[in-house]
Amino acid sequence: MTESLSTTVESVQREDPFEERHKPVSQTKLIWRRFLRHKLGVIGGVIVVLLLFAFLFADFFSPYGYLSQHHDVPYAPPMINRIHFDGVKVFVFGLVQNQIFIKLGSQLIRAPGAYDYTEDVSHKYYLKLFAPGDEYKFLGLFSTNIHILGTGEPPDSMGQFFVLGSDELGQDILSRMLFGGRITLAIAPMVILISFLFGSLLGGLSGYLGGATDTLIQRIVEIFMSLPRLALLLAMSGILTYAGYIPPMTRFWSIVGLLSLISWAPLARVIRGQFLSLREHEFTQAAKALGATNTRIIFRHILPNIMSYLVVAATLAVPDLIILESVLSFLGFGIQHPLVSWGMMLFSLQGTGFDLHATYHAWLFLPAIFIVLSVLSFNFLGDALRDALDPFAVHGVKEDMKK
């Protein structure tokens, strides 16, 4: 009887919903709950992951190489709406180029660079998964010519498949956007790594040591913060541009260096404030009293407490770097041929051709949409991480525990 009663009491205790709701929750799980509550942040995170995945495997996902040209089909329109079905098979028709004429007064004049394309229904070009095409090195490991989708036709054939259209040289827009995204987003982590290391080092020394060291470093920081960023970038990039031929990768690293030069100072100022606050906390004073060295205090006690800020700051810095690189390339001072970036793709829209492109070749503006999409996604993700990593954001956790 006694054993049966004790067993019943134990089962009730195990099934107590109050106790179940108030079980200890790990910090990682709390952060994850707060992150999932930020719907825009979750959407932004998913988009960022998809973009990074597509850019990493751009060679495979792109129908053509980003330098592959099809001179017979310049300014081909997007063919995503020109797909036809033959049972379960998918095909496209060949494109026939027609010159566009515009009416000027009583005369019809040829619109230079403007074409209309009709379909040649006499021949079908079937789309194939894992189609052969331009050769590339998969992740730099081995050579292959397999692309996820294509017609498998030679470059001089009219049976090409431009998902998002082509540009003035007959280069596939989708392929160039995927490769351009790889370059644009590759710059951001490198700049963040360099500027965050430099800014954290100087800001940490300034805040922890104080005194004359703090005064000297802060005067240097103020000088860099007072410089107009965009004007400085344009001036230094212009000097590089008119210095003569510069190899593409040298120019790439020059842009990384220039962006790092203007990005470290604001971070150093914030890191200084973090160190000034944390060096006076009880755990830091206790470590000093126990004889811990300055190096141990910085790396074992202070830096771990500002890592959440660094993660959020890095995420929120990416959109700013994307915009700066795109502006530089758009103005002709950034990435240049044979490399490609989103800003460089928009460079051709400048000048008198803008109205022509806006009227007849609207798909050339797609890189701008990708810039906006990536910037918004990183901003939403950064906002979500900032809220999730905030140690004082306990309101949402209490609500979860009440459910």
User: What is the tens place of the pLDDT at every residue in 327-385?
Assistant: 888 877 778 778 888 888 888 777 656 777 777 788 888 898 999 999 999 989 888 88
* CA 219 to the chain's CA centroid: 33
Q: What are phi and psi of 135, to 5 degrees?
A: -80, 145
Residues found in the chain:
403
> What is the fold, at CATH topology level, of the domain defined by 177-402?
MetI-like fold (1.10.3720)
Q: What is the mean pLDDT of residues 165-171?
A: 86
Task: Locate the domains of the chain by residue range.
Answer: 82-170, 177-402
DSSP label at 364? Answer: G
Q: Is the pLDDT of residue 394 over 50?
A: no
Q: Each residue of 73-118: pLDDT tens digit?
A: 888 888 888 888 888 888 888 888 777 766 666 666 666 667 778 8
The secondary structure element, H or E, covering residue 361 is none
Contacts of 187 (CB under 8 A, 6+ apart): 252, 255, 256, 259, 321, 325
Q: How many CB atoms lie within 10 A of CB 177?
A: 25
Place of tokens 């502006």: 327
Closest CA to 124 of 150, 93, 95: 93
Q: Which two tokens stand for residue 382?
A: 């950064």
Q: Is the pLDDT of residue 10 over 60?
A: no
Q: Decide if 161 contacts 172 (C-beta within 8 A).
A: no
Region for residue 351 given its phi and psi (left: phi exceeds 0; alpha: psi -120 to 50; beta: otherwise): left
Taking all residues of the chain, what is their mean pLDDT, rounded to a whole number?
80
pLDDT-derived band of residue 300, with 50, 70 and 90 as boundaries? confident
Q: What is the pTM of this model?
A: 0.80
Amino acid occupying residue 252: F
Q: Which two tokens stand for residue 397?
A: 């956790």
